[in-house]
Amino acid sequence: MKRRRFIRNVAGLGIASALLPSFQSNQTKSASANPVVKTLPKALLKGDIIGITGPAGAIYESETIERITSRLTELGFKFKLGKTLYERFGYLAGTDEVRANELMEFYKDHSVKAILTMRGGWGCARILDLLDYEVIAQHPKILMGFSDITSLVNAVYLKTGIITYHGPCGYSTWTDFSTVYVTKAVVLGAPFTMQNPDDYKTDLLTLAPGKAEGELLGGNITVLVSMIGTPYEPDWTNKILFLEETMEEPYRIDRMFWQMKQAGIFGKVKGVVFGSFNKCFPEEPEKSFTLHEVLEQHFRGLSIPVYMGATFGHMSPKFTLPIGVLAEIDADNHTIRTLERSVMA
């Protein structure tokens, strides 16, 4: 599709979302053993303001700010830039208090309809104790990001029941494919199917066949493992777990799988899907298992459906996965299909 035509069509989706049937209630029961009350943020409409903040790592490339604001403008949205985009405190985008306070300000700002995190890196875990989850619950709005943002989007869902979104950051390359899935998740919101583009299908592999339903949960494996045993550890029960990683050697990923296995996580989830494991190569291949061999050892023939090679994580293009939304994994056909709305029309 030509760029100009694509932009015109996507920008118009904000208007299209307003025409969709109203959601009967923005609260539904979770499928987990310990149900939470789920809340859908309102769908983004053309002309809405998106707050852009840096809750984690410092923003070193100022041109990325111009790139994402230009992209959002092309798509018909306005934006509000946080001061964290220009702050540096070591490797962080400002002190913990500055980053937490800005996030809370965006939640309380009625003009801001969605919050886009600028980048991951490290830092979100440092602010989880500083957030006021009661206030966040009173102001449900779209929160999106990935990588280190994994801890933030999962903590907000756990503590408030608000659906959050594992999708592109401001730093990301917003390809047409990625933008279409952002639009499906936070503008249209109707159930949709996540299927790799044709040129990625050769990388897909079924490790354990079958279909399963459960609420979507996941993100970066290193970050998720770091949350085990904390007050922000996700409720894994009856979930479809999605995992991604970047620049970790196979033995480290093996170690994380063992921790998750011994914590009983793989006995609780309904299915597992692996996205990009970018640059996860052994430094000394002759002395190491490959990543594929590690995955085979842990998941081949598991009693729940498992497949690898989905397009999300540290890669482009990428899906946007709504955390907390009921979905179906089909490990044989390599698809993830949401079964309920991901935003309130």
Q: Is residue 147 flagged as an active site residue?
A: yes
Q: Is residue 32 flagged as an active site residue?
A: no
Token pair of 73 as six digits: 């403008």
Nearest to 181 by CA among 172, 192, 170: 192
Catalytic residue among 249, 314, 328, 334: 314
Catalytic residue among 32, 147, 178, 342: 147
Angle between helix axes 250-262 and 291-299 (nearest 10 degrees) is 20
Neighbours of 302 (CB within 10 A): 16
Contact 18, 45 (CB under 8 A): yes
Q: Is residue 284 flagged as an active site residue?
A: no
Instruction: Give the separation between CA 146 and CA 293, rounded to whole angstroms.
Output: 26
Which amino acids are annotated catalytic? 147, 244, 314
